[in-house]
Structure 1
């Protein structure tokens, strides 16, 4: 992905791009880079087009691509939802001339760039058109990053802001803000403004925002380490931010469920990467959960999950204040350690 973005920034354009996967931040980021680097604002009205292939036949888009650019050097065309690249049944009644597309892919015109935007986790590799497209296009698979990939991306984002980010600051940022790329991008941009050319761990600790999930992770960590005062401080801060108690309880339940699942899978001999794949959770979250899970027995986690279920029932049936129910739950978990 970084290599593709670098080529685009250097104005080394390909005639065909294929952007597929479920990480929308990467796909949207690539689209924005193409728009910014390929066309001026004046050229957008004449040389840019966007089609939804669930509504428009591919023939129309190809004819557009074969039209010479007006008042510029290149045409840029986005083709969204190319469902014919997947094994899914068509939701649309639009008929596509796939043979015409295959012919174009083998001989694209030099003055147009077509970008296939496919928000699908998998493409059907058995189809001739999919094989041909992947062979002729500049391909971005927008999948969830591994821990090393996300750290490389963070450094690249910092460099784009003309600052350096130290290794321990990268670790701290992931711990505090999670692995959502949109949130990380916002945090890095903010940190760059307040740094003096270098983002260090201390800057991240002071300025980085925490996601709700990371706040809950920290809350659990404080309870486990018998720091109930700090855990309650986090909880009260969440209430001041107008987070709903029932939502906090739901994420708290998810965190303890993750600890239980991680502990059980580790007991069966699974590695952290295997657990991440099995649970479809980012490996960095599994790395953090594995550290916390060691502090509990399975019996303790079962007991806590029962207490959380009981708290959920009380929220829905009793007249007690929902915020107080969670507060009592935290004291109960703290007292069990």
Structure 2
């Protein structure tokens, strides 16, 4: 049996993997049938150890769990791990569970080793893609995390916390734990925006504003350059996409509220956004009309659908949108 977890959200990927391992260890407590390997570090000698783990008999008639962390991209030559999975027919083996994880987007994994990715993601395996969240999905996840810790957070405070995180789920998880402990210690029924302001780390990304500014000014060379630079420095394309989507959503919200003659502080409170975000956004607001914003937002939502259906890469869609203005 093969369980394949992959995607760009490293924190949630690690958490899901940990949940599976914890569940296994509670049921099979001997520890004699549990094996873990980091494929980003293994050598051919380590591959023999994986083979030994696969071939070894199970003690106490327990199911074996073999964890292959960072299975893609692996250090071994292409075909080595795929060959092992095929040779021992591990997808059909009910007494051995392979838990394979890969912290990268589908396009990057397929590019690294298309044959292995196809084998891992094949029909019949348990496959889950875990990418960086944004918008309502991010806010719902944050809300669930607070609920799991026995506390709640006001809607505006929740939005502020999500904006502060900059899409960094590791940072966001740390802030959720910090705020939940604060709520438990202070006896608060619901966390407020002031609590978030006081305790949360702020990771507002100025380069996203630089990219949006360039798009707004119809400066295609600069917008192209900023996007290219971000990708070249290793910034995950899903993260960039989530930030751009979030900024265009903020532009629409802020433009609507600004049209009602609200002050920057009033807009920040009503929209549940950080004042810094509102003030920066107001500076470029006049460069866009509502229809342009709706068109851009629609293009982004369509790009998300095309990527999920495997018909277009997010990177290509982002460059396409930058050049269309």
Residue 280, structure 1, aligned to residue 268, structure 2? no
**Aligned-residue offset at 1:93:** 4.3
| Superposition pairs of residues 116-195 of structure 1, within 5 angstroms | 116-122=100-106, 123-124=109-110, 127=114, 129-134=116-121, 135-195=123-183
Match of 1:107, SS state, is: coil
**Aligned-residue offset at 1:141:** 1.5
Quickly say closer, same or farther: Cα 1:100–1:178, change in 2 above 3 A.
closer
**Aligned-residue offset at 1:39:** 0.7
1:68-101 Cα offsets, whole Å, 9 max, x none, are 4435833321113434xx7xxx853486263552
1:269-322 Cα offsets, whole Å, 9 max, x none, are xxxxxxx979535233443467444433899xxxxxxxxxxxxxxxxxxxxxxx
Quickly say closer, same or farther: Cα 1:67–1:277, change in 2 above 3 A.
closer
Does structure 2 retain, via aligned residues, the 8 Å contact 1:55–1:94? no
Does structure 2 retain, via aligned residues, the 8 Å contact 1:52–1:79? yes
CA distance in 2, matches of 1:166, 1:148: 15
Residue 115, structure 1, aligned to residue 99, structure 2? yes
Match of 1:186, SS state, is: helix
Quickly say closer, same or farther: Cα 1:179–1:297, change in 2 above 3 A.
closer
Does structure 1 retain, via aligned residues, the 8 Å contact 2:6–2:128? yes
Quickly say closer, same or farther: Cα 1:42–1:75, change in 2 above 3 A.
closer
**Aligned-residue offset at 1:166:** 3.3
Who is 1:201 aligned against?
Answer: 192
Q: How many residues end up aligned between the 2 structures?
A: 233
Does structure 2 retain, via aligned residues, the 8 Å contact 1:43–1:71? no
| TM-score, structure 2 as length reference | 0.57
Match of 1:154, SS state, is: helix
1:159-203 Cα offsets, whole Å, 9 max, x none, are 221223332221121233433111111111222223247433245
| TM-score, structure 1 as length reference | 0.56
**Aligned-residue offset at 1:19:** 1.5
Relative CO higher for 1 or 2, CA cutoff 8 Å, sep ≥ 6? 2
CA distance in 2, matches of 1:66, 1:33: 26
Match 2:216 to one of 263, 268, 271: 263
Match of 2:150, SS state, is: coil
The gaps in structure 2 that reach 5 residues or longer are 221-236, 255-279, 288-325
CA distance in 1, matches of 2:116, 2:238: 29
CA distance in 1, matches of 2:57, 2:105: 34
- Could you say what the CA RMSD is over the residues aligned between the two structures, in angstroms? 3.9
CA distance in 2, matches of 1:59, 1:96: 11
1:40-80 Cα offsets, whole Å, 9 max, x none, are 59947523212244524767535524534435833321113
CA distance in 1, matches of 2:58, 2:68: 18
**Aligned-residue offset at 1:143:** 1.6
Residue 37, structure 1, aligned to residue 23, structure 2? yes
**Aligned-residue offset at 1:157:** 0.9
